[in-house]
Structure 1
Amino acid sequence: MSAPGSRATDAALEHVREVVVRALDDLRRRSGLDSWMLAHRDGDQQVVLHAVGAALAAPGTPVPWAETFCALRAEAGAPSVAGDVSQVPAYASLAARRTPEVRAVVTVPVVSPDGELVGDLCGLGTHAVPDLEQHREAVELQAALIGSLMAFERHVMRDRRRAEQAERAARTDPLTGLGNRRTWDDAVEAEDARAAVLGTPVGVVVADLDGLKHLNDADGHAAGDAALRAAADALQAVAAAEHLAARLGGDELGLLLPEADAARTAEVVERLRAAWHDAGVDVSVGWAVRDAGRGLRDAWRVADAAMYADKGRRSAAARRAAPAVPRAPEGRAPRLGNHEPVVRALRTDPRGGTAGDVDALLELVTAQLGLDVAYVNERRDDHWRIRNVHADPTTDLEPGDLSETTNSYCELLVTRQIPAAVQDSHDVPALAALPATDDLAITAYVGTPLHRSDGSLYGTLCAYAHDAEPALGDRDAGVLRVVGGLVMSIVEQHDREDRLRHDLLERLDGLAAAGGPRMVFQPVVALADGSVVGHEALSRFPTGDPAEWFATARSAGLEEDLELTAVRSALARLDDVPGFLAVNVSARTAGLPALGRVVGGCDPARVVLELTEHTPVDDYAALRRTLAPLRRAGVRIAVDDVGAGFASMRHVLELVPDVLKLDISLVRNIATDSSRQALAASMLAFADKTGAQVVAEGIETADELDYLRTMGVGLGQGYHLGRPAPLAA
């Protein structure tokens, strides 16, 4: 089964294909040319990304760049439009050599709003088209729209890539803290798919430690593990946030470099060599860049072969040299004999995920110490309370259980009346007399006090076995102390989060008691005549930025409640404003049945739901099903902040909204900025095709207003047109 992130990536890429193919098909119908394609230059090759009709090459197939009509236009000055290629010598010569059936050609560059060349749009016909020039404007408009779409999707994919990498953090190699082989395989598959659709390069680096077997044989596996960690730490230090570092198995490491060409990949490799040298480890390394005709897995194979070639070039003396083992920091606890594996695992950088959960730590303790039960006990004023426990189902011990401070193992431990490790509790009179000894079948026991970062006592971490353990001793107590430090870092973090959540709940309770957030209303005007056609409702809070309130509520899992409260407050004033009333909700809130109940009490034809980009959508099909009854009733759907972030363009493509709201970052300085003008024009073209209205947000100058009106933008809002203000009581 594919991972959720992989399924979301597949769906997103499929929508890119669908939109581009629809645009190509539209051009085919308009122009009379038999085939259209979107192609991308990859070095000395051109690769067809998408095509309709009898294209010269199937998507994914490379052809020599120099032997393309696009190259002749871009480098030899051939015209963009040739209704009859026989009239253009360069085109006629190429057609005679490679494609004698081609009689008419259109080729234009596809450029993103920030000026980056995305590829080329090319149409080919098997018969001459004398009036082909009249279709140039439509082709250039589609090219601008595709350029904007591809740029947005690249941005979306970068954000999704970061989200996927956060998800992969739970799937790491416990020794090095890098991704494991499963993480690597998923990333290779995802990046290969992205590169095939978006035409982006990908670099692959493969590294292998030299002399590791010799080091393991001579100094033991602990020394080899230390060398692997040193190499992995150096790799991670060089890797950027968008890169994926992984342990591929044994002594082999890998680094995936999305959007890195050969020059960038080579530069990263040189930095890696320097970092490994500084860390005192000898590493062989190879690299390659994805070839469009063979894919990313082939590049991985090429990089692996290059790594072994690098290893072969090293001298025999260098190959025999053992990697230097980094010295342990002074003050580190002594080695704990055969408990070294658990201590090593627990000291791994937290990014490895080995210390991320108290229950997992307790399970690790029981497995490594060979005991039956492990638990965390919190000391309250007059009692102890079990916070976490790991035990078999028959053990009569559960989280939340309370016990008295007297007659308690934990109380005797923190008051130092018993040793930290007890092989057989029946041999210790103070323990043999406790009811818990028989009630819980405690025989062998080990424990350690837990202290907060301020030094105060929190409780204890304890473990026990039902049978005697003659070997239980100070080394086991030392393991528990190491684990205890990690347990407390997690417990204190959880407690801080709980306090923040409780504080927020109290603030929200006070807000609800006061009738919810205070609402202000900003007019939306028709740019043609300045008449007010509606309002947007905006939340205001007693203190602070509204965005901070919603972000804090989101982190506490309460965003939907706060948004619904704001929607209720806004719609309560629907009868007091002319025209429509727009209210802001996240996609997650929009998917709640509760929203339908809130809106159901109003005139739906006057309500506009503005979808913000604060939260990603996991299931657009489910969201469309939820919104369908509201839309049938007359509620309009708007996508907010179009042009600003990772979610807005996806919302546009998936939901086909009734209203597109151009973000203030797109409107700012639009009168003088050609990139903003091009992107806004592509959004207007999209809206024209889908029947959507366009609202420009953040209009603050007369120049911006005049230019937007000239472009044909119908509606707008901003300080130049009217500031948000409360309604009269």
Structure 2
Amino acid sequence: MPAALETERGAALEALVDAASGILAADSLDGTLGRIAHHLQALLRYDDLTVYEVDEALGVLRPVFAVGNWVDEALADPIPLGTGVTGWVVEHRRTRNVPNSGHEPLCSVVGGTDDEPEAFVCVPLLARERVVGALNVYRALGSGSFSAAEVELVERFATMAALAYDSARQRETLRDQVQRDGLTGLLNHRACHERLKAALNFGDPVAVVLLDLDHFKVINDTLGHAEGDRVLKACAERLRSVVRTDDVVGRMGGEEFALILPGADVEAAEDCAERARAALAELTVRGRPVAASAGVAAAPADGAEAPVLLENADAALYWAKRSGRGKTVRYKRGAIRPEAEQRNEIAELLERGVEAIEIVVQPVVELATGRAGGYEALTRINVEPRRGPDEWFAQAHRVGLGDELEALAMRAALALPDRPDGAFLALNVSPRALLSAPVQDILPATLTGIVVELTEHEVFGAAGELDAALADLRARGARIALDDAGAGYAGLQQMIRIAPEILKLDRTLVHGAHADGSRQALLEALIGFASSTGAAICAEGVEDLDDLRALVALDVTYAQGYGLCRPAPAWPQPDAAATAAAESEIRSGLRISGNPRGAGAFTRGLAELSDELSAAETVHDLGEANVRAAALLGADELALLLVEGDEIELVSKNRVEVGERWSLDDFPSTRYVLEHRIPGQVVVGDEAGDPAELAELAELGLGTVLLVPVICSDQPVGLLEIYRVRRQAFTAREVDRARVLAQQFGAALDRLPS
């Protein structure tokens, strides 16, 4: 290579490195896109640029960023997948350099722009072997078309930009998920606090409306949680329809919603609350309109800080429900039910003791056997006015008596007689109450057969104190369960911190899991986490038999929900017809495990492969196991070869004829793997790869090969060649699994006659 050209290429590579550093330093998706455009402009002269994102749900390439003369027009014109040059590039994963758009039949004109021909380059954005979008750069014909060197530069730049963009998109998605309620997609409790605080910081008027659905518990109890969830999602949509663009709609928890109205005074907020209640009333459940109560507070008159404003709106909402429901009440200092009155109500309840508490229990069904492995104790409070237990506990904590009420509920549950032998009893308690004296005093010294189920894990605190308390409970025989796992990032943090013996899946993940690949993927990840720590998985809110079968396939240990058994005062047994859909097959008095496709599937598949290899009578029988072995590794093909001196011989059915031989002299990387007894891989596109292996992959139309030596009696006797069609390196975990498979083949070869 001439020195000048080498210097020029080195300078370009150095500029790319600098661009990568600049782009990766962005802290937002918009920032990443802006830096992509800025750094490419420093490397390459162009007039316009557009970044498209693949939106499979809508079947389009959605423009997400543009610079140049036609920004608004470009951003308003999505491209249907598979159409135009950009659609071709994404579909074929290949770059297109168009010297003149007027001579390219696939080219189309962005709506609202002129139809003057131009030169442009379209490059697919590939991140982790996925096409996430396309990068288009344009130049007026008078400035000349893009040279081959410039196209190569754009391609190199796009490789780096795609990874940066994909990472930024994932961070943005994670930020959004942390702030969103999993069921409705509205902002969650924490995000509402943050948005209200931010709005108050501007110093302008801000109003808050809190809405609570009246008698919602009746819907859940009579029609099931699935119907309740449908109503909540429909309510969320109706509330979105009655607010302005800058207003915020959130779900505070349960059936309570919040409207944050920047710039609104209390009168405007009352009008909005009435519109919201009217919109909700347009929804019907079994012919009855959905009714709601609302409380209104406005800053600065009703509070200048977010917690105060929300507390006062909540007080107004409480008064609306206490005074007959189905109305809007604005906060008025001194007119709302005083805290002392609320405290006295809780104090009177506590004075009545366990007589005020009814405990119902719901079976926690062991799916493999269909039996009740345990029971969760659920509190019902028999005091007028009739309200759900969540309202009572929230009021108790609000007036400083929450620990005492939780202790009373636990005492009532522990007093239940005649618990079935071998069944555990799960007691719900919030972390803050668990650390309190009233709860500590009520728990017996021996906790064998007791599961302490932690709730409200978003407010975990006092790390050392809580960890010590959990260690003490475990030492006394208790197991720890974590409720609502997978409900958000905070929940994931607590899963790692608490390391529970039972992980209870949030019911929003369970509903519809049988037909939702995204839910199944998240469930598999949570189940994989649980299996790595030895925790059992319990799915809550199971109401659909298809969901139940999906949970069985994912290797879930326990399940509970209306579809299995409703809560009852005694010790109810699971519905036999429902559990029959989940139980393992019985043969000769044994439970014969099925074949889960989620966590534990590799271990199960490895056991089946070992059975197949142990039945082999010849070396070629071992080769017949290659399909099963490839599937275990998520590979497209697997070949078993034997080492014969300086040659290797294929013994498994493959694209090449069985019995074909190759000299190790022609494949130095293969010889290295065998001599050093370590696995290694070659990926098409990796310039450092062995040329012989790369040529072989190209001839076979494959993208990656992993070479794993098969060791027998401390000698390399064979080789596993594991292939992928796509160009994607095997992860360290996958390599370790391949080594385990190689050991199985080695043991089988050692057994067979030479």
Name the TM tier (shorter chain). 0.3 to 0.5
TM-score, length basis structure 1: 0.39
